[in-house]
């Protein structure tokens, strides 16, 4: 992984198109919120501990600091809009809306009603135009359009029945594995131990977990631990050594190397971002 400084994102929107099946190998967690809108095709998005299957008209909401990875599963054209915005931008929108309900940033899948999909596509394309061309007061309009989109998503979500993201049995089983890894992240967890807990072979667990989430067992565990470390570095007075131990790293030097590989910064450099 190439070392780089964490991106600072107030707002941006991108339109990504690709043909055929593919697995994205992008940043696995970052300090800003993201919305995915599937304009064409199908994909599976692993967010935190759950896999969601998305098709045309669906949104995925990914809160800041949440592990995620995307698999495009359609053999045809896949088109996705990615809207990224900072935690501070979300707070400013909350203040603008003058509501205690907030912008509703929580992980999950949201389906736009069929009769609203044309209007949603128009809205995201307006945001894209304003962001790319930057006309007079374009940034302000982008933020206003984002507020409109977040309100719409709140409405769509409120009208949905609770669901498990259309998970099949394999997805549900791997969600249990991910939850187990998070629950035991402070312990010296091994693939053999996890496989024994779920009564499967280590090779089968490793293969299916990677197939359904995009992560290896060890990779997922390390990234989860580093995400926890990021929170502690920014929001606690614990030393780097204490944080390493609390997050499940028995060797502080290994923690430093793994942290820098994942974030592009040393733990002490990352702490200065607060």
Q: Which tens digits make up the pLDDT trace of 200-225?
A: 999 999 999 988 888 899 999 999 99
In tens, the pLDDT along 112-161 reads 888 999 999 999 999 999 999 989 998 999 999 999 999 999 889 887 75
CA–CA separation, 177 and 200 (whole Å): 11
pLDDT at 25: 62
Q: What is the pLDDT of residues 1-34, one digit of tens each?
A: 344 554 557 999 999 998 887 777 665 778 899 9
What helix, strand, coil percent values describe the chain, rounded to 5?
A: 45, 20, 30
Does 52 have pLDDT greater than 50? yes
Whole-prediction pTM: 0.81
CA distance 8 to 153: 24
For residue 163, name the pLDDT band (cuts at 50, 70, 90): very low
Using pLDDT thresholds of 50, 70 and 90, give the confidence band for residue 164: very low
Per-residue b or e along 203-238, where b marks 16 or more CB atoms closer than 10 Å to that residue's CB: eebbeebeebbbbebeebbbbbbbbbbbebbeeeee
Contacts of 180 (CB under 8 A, 6+ apart): 194, 197, 198
Q: What count of Cα atoms within 13 Å lies in the side-chain half-sphere of residue 259?
A: 29
Residue 92, Cβ density class (10 Å: 0-12 exposed, 13-18 middle, ≥19 buried):
middle
12: nearest Cα among 128, 138, 174: 128
Domain extents in the chain:
11-158, 169-271
Question: What is the spatial distance between Cα 42 and Cα 78, in angstroms, rounded to a whole number?
Answer: 7
- Top-level class of domain 11-158: mainly beta
CATH for 169-271, options being 1.10.10.60, 3.30.70.20, 3.30.70.270, 3.40.630.40: 1.10.10.60
């Amino acid at each position: 992984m190439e070392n780089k400084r964490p991106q600072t994102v107030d707002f941006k929107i991108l339109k990504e198109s690709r043909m055929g099946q593919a697995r994205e190998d992008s940043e696995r967690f970052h300090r800003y919120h993201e919305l995915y809108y599937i304009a064409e095709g199908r994909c599976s998005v692993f967010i935190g501990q759950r896999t969601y299957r998305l098709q045309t008209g669906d949104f995925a909401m990914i809160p800041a600091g949440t592990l995620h990875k995307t698999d495009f599963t359609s053999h045809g054209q896949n088109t996705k809009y990615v809207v990224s915005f900072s935690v501070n931008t979300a707070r400013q929108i909350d203040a603008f809306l003058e509501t205690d309900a907030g912008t509703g940033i929580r992980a999950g899948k949201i389906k736009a009603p069929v009769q609203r999909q044309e209007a949603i596509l128009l809205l995201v394309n307006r945001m894209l135009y304003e962001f790319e061309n930057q006309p007079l007061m374009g940034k302000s309009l982008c933020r206003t359009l984002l507020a409109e989109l977040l309100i719409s998503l709140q409405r769509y979500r409120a009208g949905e029945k609770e669901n498990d993201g259309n998970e099949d049995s394999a997805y549900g089983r791997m969600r249990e594995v991910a939850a187990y890894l998070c629950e035991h992240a402070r312990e010296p967890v091994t693939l053999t131990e996890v496989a024994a807990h779920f009564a499967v072979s280590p090779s089968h667990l490793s293969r299916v977990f990677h197939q359904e989430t995009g992560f290896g067992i060890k990779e997922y565990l390390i990234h989860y631990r580093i995400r926890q470390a990021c929170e502690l570095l920014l929001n606690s007075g614990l030393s780097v050594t204490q944080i390493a131990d609390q997050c499940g790293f028995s060797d502080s030097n290994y923690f430093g190397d793994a942290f820098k590989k994942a974030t592009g910064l040393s733990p002490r450099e990352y702490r200065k971002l607060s």
